[in-house]
Structure 1
């Protein structure tokens, strides 16, 4: 039965996008119901599948976004058994590298994906072979021709190339790949073995890409190769906002519609979602000043006439920052705004760590949530990370469907490693997990005991499976290093089991995040500091032809468009810039003439 909806569920703009029969590029302004539209599109197309062997593919920028969309679809009562949703890296691993890696010389003898901690360890070691190079210089990504260094200092490139020659050799010797190599090898496989994309095109009638403006060229071409092989039978649906393309330093960009049309070789319709249901008219007017793409935004929120506070402080001294943040948090909580509707932003996580610690001490009655405070390695491809999701969540009815899905993934992982799971069901795994009682207050020790107890109950000798053993070592080594670093920064409580359990709970406290990390979020109150030249824009973007103006505008657009009611920007004074003196105020903000409020 075809999935249907009422007029109250979707706007005419959204319904048109969902019903579009051609491939589609959907430009969605902030707060326009992009995720809702994507959810209904997937539900609609799932209900129209004609064969049991077909799958709808949805590629999201984060695994958290994938979980949210899947749960929304399940909440609509639509069967998701023929939906594959996740990041492009997970897609390449599951659908290209694992089944067809034997056709690629670098993968034919088997491989393991290293996590970010392992990568950092290797690169830090190799950086010692070249003077003046640090791990932070070692950013890179792949295009179809090879790797691209992201370091803007050309004087360092020869030394970096020497480091990466050693890096790639070491990975090859140990049969390891990192996340960028996943994309590179996938691209090589589909170029050299055309039958792969033909098989995938027969399986996938529709591939959706969320946040297309953050997609790399190698990712566009990988997906487009499948669409092109479908010869009209496989369609593509991309949705995003070019004004929020803030990952260009990592290779992400908003491809123009005509270029995507030619790349895919299929008719491609272009539509837009122009109505903002999130922000007030005053907020829309403000962040529209930073619009760099020709998009139209119409205020449609029931509260669009609300009188928003928009302030900008460029006189506050650095040593008064925490006091001001505490004042603003207390001000809005006192006005009835829930702490989980307040968000504190900065350009870099290093600016947030110490501030978060001091805010937690000054406001012990509130919780503070942020990805930089996750106490263990968040590597979705690691078996033990996947299992930790079950061990750290409660067996409540509201969590049942999610935990059942996670249990199914764990069983599939075990099957892939050769474990006999013929007698094991997802429900049984959950029953065994729920019956485990562990009296341990240290988070990592708790997980170690939990993993051993569950494997014993399932009669699985995990140590006899090499990949499970490697994943176990990687998970605990990287988690221990992460906790140690956070402890050194003053968050001693980070190692406790209560803090571990927060990781998979819904947001409950004041959100602390970077500008890049908060994309997709929305809050009643957004407070952003570090609005300084060299941070917004990043100092590496100042070398661009426009001096970083476009990069700064995109960051400010993202910040402003997260807010529903109130926005506060701070360019704190006297923040040291190493041997360069102190940071100055962001030029783009200095040049904007706006009637700010005094709060």
Structure 2
């Protein structure tokens, strides 16, 4: 049955829903990609009766996207009992490693998933004394079908990196530990060597949606292709993404070609496009189209299509005046243009660029709140049991949060069951009732969580000491969180320990967003302000495809904006022992574009910071 009312989708989106085969969908920014995927999944779910034994899977790049899509499906009134949704790592853990890990020679005695903090700590220890000197940053790697692929662009370091990783892999195997990269690697090996697993999963799922295909790695394609192929056509797929936003290539992400994917699934595949951008003004669409690498089509269809967007570019501002200029741009957009604070986003290439700037902005703009992953005071290991429980403990009971908290509670119960705890008398509702009755009078965020966790497990009559996996995850959660907070406090943010900061993490976004370019994918704002758009940063100097890598990052930045876009390539930014970053990201610097201007730009390059007056922008033309 239909799960949407007439007019909910445009003709191209409806074409995806009505297609009964496999669909390869290229969707331009703001084209309703998530909406289309949501309705497609909802439509597939609605065709499964209560006694149907198959499931629908939706594989997303982030947990945030999974939460958003699941909530949208539930809001359509569709039963989600037959829906599994999450990241590829979660899919592999839930559907491959847990049930079939016993058949892998390195997992048959059991295994423990370790988080990014534990991985970093191990590598940091193993890097001590390396010659030439290696840092944990140099040790990034992923697997493809041929084995380990190093992510460092410094080829002369590769022999030493491989030596360190060899020791790291040995320790993982000895302690029966699995990091995120090995989670995918072992899953791939099981799928490759045990074809019956693909056959079982191919029968179990009637439909598999794959979001953000441009960020999918080779072995992920191979695993999903094997499952779909083994179904002999009974399992169908929608694979959707935008090759122009393939900004995770250094991590192995590849925007696969339709013909290649068609060969992997061994069946027909219809190619479709979404070309209407409902997000941005025509001027913003025209601007980000200058960085289109794959020459896909984009047409502005926004209700703000004719909005007189401001697009500014400043490459004479000195680094010392950056924060004052960001303050002024924020105030201008909010106080003069009338943009809501939660519709303003500040971007930089790396998280290290955001830390001190954000803290100074918080001080300079006390009347506004700030949100963003960079301001999370504890470890964001979403597969950690205690992170999942923290979501409940840090949010209040309210009608708007009820369904979300109910789903979180079910996740907690599932993890307790997997850990061997007796949860026969615990339901999602009863867990929330017990949680809502807990009062902890503690202002330190981590101490608050310690006490909340202790009390809730006591009410559920569960002893953490009886379940080693819970205990290990508890230690990992607090160790990584303590280290994270310590770094923030040492960097001048003592307020990060306060429980009020912890409580903001799971609230709806209310303040000015600060994020890295990679962290903002999928989001949209009325105004986007991006700085540090410098050669060597956009893209990273290790990127093997400098020109296209830069274009894709600039494409992502500009396509987040609905109305206004402010780009800054400040001068004088320190570059360690190599002096300063002295040039603009090449595609940005070479673009001949008539930006909006104002008389005050020329005064910004004097090294003394920006002028104190609010700028009067003069639209181009």
Interval of TM-score (by shorter of Structure 1 and Structure 2)? over 0.9
Secondary structure at the counterpart of residue 205 of structure 1: strand
1:565 and 2:566 aligned: no
1:414-493 aligned at under 5 Å gives the runs 414-493=416-495
Find the aligned partners of 2:30 and 2:379 in 1 and give their Cα distance. 31
Counterpart for residue 614 of structure 2: none
Counterpart for residue 140 of structure 1: 141
Deviation track 1:10-38 (CA, whole Å, cap 9, x = no partner) reads: 00011101111110110000000001001
Counterpart for residue 205 of structure 2: 204
1:308-327 aligned at under 5 Å gives the runs 308-327=309-328
Find the aligned partners of 1:508 and 1:123 in 2 and give their Cα distance. 37
Counterpart for residue 330 of structure 1: 331
Counterpart for residue 169 of structure 1: 170
Find the aligned partners of 1:421 and 1:540 in 2 and give their Cα distance. 49
Find the aligned partners of 2:168 and 2:226 in 1 and give their Cα distance. 29
1:63-102 aligned at under 5 Å gives the runs 63-102=63-102
Counterpart for residue 240 of structure 2: 239
How big is the shift at 1:4?
3.3
Counterpart for residue 46 of structure 2: 47
Whether contact under 8 Å (1:216, 1:253) holds in the other structure is: yes
Find the aligned partners of 2:54 and 2:218 in 1 and give their Cα distance. 26
How big is the shift at 1:129?
3.9
Find the aligned partners of 2:410 and 2:304 in 1 and give their Cα distance. 42
1:518 and 2:520 aligned: yes
Q: TM-score, normalised by structure 1?
A: 0.98
Secondary structure at the counterpart of residue 166 of structure 1: helix
Secondary structure at the counterpart of residue 518 of structure 2: coil
Deviation track 1:256-291 (CA, whole Å, cap 9, x = no partner) reads: 000000011010000000000000000111100000
How big is the shift at 1:377?
0.8
How big is the shift at 1:49?
2.0
Whether contact under 8 Å (1:346, 1:513) holds in the other structure is: yes
Find the aligned partners of 1:78 and 1:555 in 2 and give their Cα distance. 36
Counterpart for residue 16 of structure 2: 17
Deviates more, 1:444-453 or 1:420-429: 420-429
Find the aligned partners of 1:575 and 1:19 in 2 and give their Cα distance. 53
Find the aligned partners of 2:578 and 2:560 in 1 and give their Cα distance. 32
How big is the shift at 1:5?
2.1
Deviation track 1:138-196 (CA, whole Å, cap 9, x = no partner) reads: 11001122110011111111101100110001011111010010000001111111111
Secondary structure at the counterpart of residue 287 of structure 1: helix
Whether contact under 8 Å (1:3, 1:43) holds in the other structure is: no
Whether contact under 8 Å (1:123, 1:167) holds in the other structure is: yes
Deviation track 1:406-464 (CA, whole Å, cap 9, x = no partner) reads: 11111111111111111111111111111101101110000000000001111111112
Counterpart for residue 555 of structure 1: 553
Find the aligned partners of 2:455 and 2:181 in 1 and give their Cα distance. 35
Whether contact under 8 Å (1:373, 1:486) holds in the other structure is: no
Counterpart for residue 104 of structure 1: 104
1:157 and 2:158 aligned: yes
Whether contact under 8 Å (1:129, 1:163) holds in the other structure is: no
Find the aligned partners of 2:168 and 2:52 in 1 and give their Cα distance. 43
How big is the shift at 1:3?
3.0
How big is the shift at 1:70?
0.3
Find the aligned partners of 1:400 and 1:53 in 2 and give their Cα distance. 28
How big is the shift at 1:387?
0.7
Whether contact under 8 Å (2:345, 2:528) holds in the other structure is: yes
How big is the shift at 1:580?
2.2
Whether contact under 8 Å (2:244, 2:555) holds in the other structure is: yes
Q: Where does structure 2 lack aligned partners over 5 or more consecutive residues? A: 598-616
Secondary structure at the counterpart of residue 14 of structure 1: helix
How big is the shift at 1:503?
0.8
1:596 and 2:595 aligned: yes
Secondary structure at the counterpart of residue 397 of structure 1: coil
Counterpart for residue 26 of structure 2: 27
Secondary structure at the counterpart of residue 31 of structure 1: coil
1:387 and 2:389 aligned: yes
Deviation track 1:13-66 (CA, whole Å, cap 9, x = no partner) reads: 111011111101100000000010011001000011255221100000000110
Deviates more, 1:26-35 or 1:129-138: 129-138
Counterpart for residue 505 of structure 2: 503
Find the aligned partners of 2:15 and 2:345 in 1 and give their Cα distance. 33
Whether contact under 8 Å (2:3, 2:46) holds in the other structure is: no
Find the aligned partners of 2:484 and 2:310 in 1 and give their Cα distance. 38
Secondary structure at the counterpart of residue 567 of structure 1: strand
Counterpart for residue 301 of structure 1: 302
Secondary structure at the counterpart of residue 41 of structure 1: helix
Q: TM-score, normalised by structure 2?
A: 0.95
1:533 and 2:522 aligned: no
Deviation track 1:194-246 (CA, whole Å, cap 9, x = no partner) reads: 11111101110111111100000010111001000001111121111000000
Find the aligned partners of 1:112 and 1:145 in 2 and give their Cα distance. 25
State which of 402, 405, 409 in structure 2 corresponds to 1:403: 405
Whether contact under 8 Å (2:307, 2:563) holds in the other structure is: yes
Deviates more, 1:238-247 or 1:332-341: 332-341
Find the aligned partners of 2:450 and 2:573 in 1 and give their Cα distance. 42
Find the aligned partners of 1:497 and 1:188 in 2 and give their Cα distance. 44
1:256-275 aligned at under 5 Å gives the runs 256-275=257-276
1:172-183 aligned at under 5 Å gives the runs 172-183=173-184
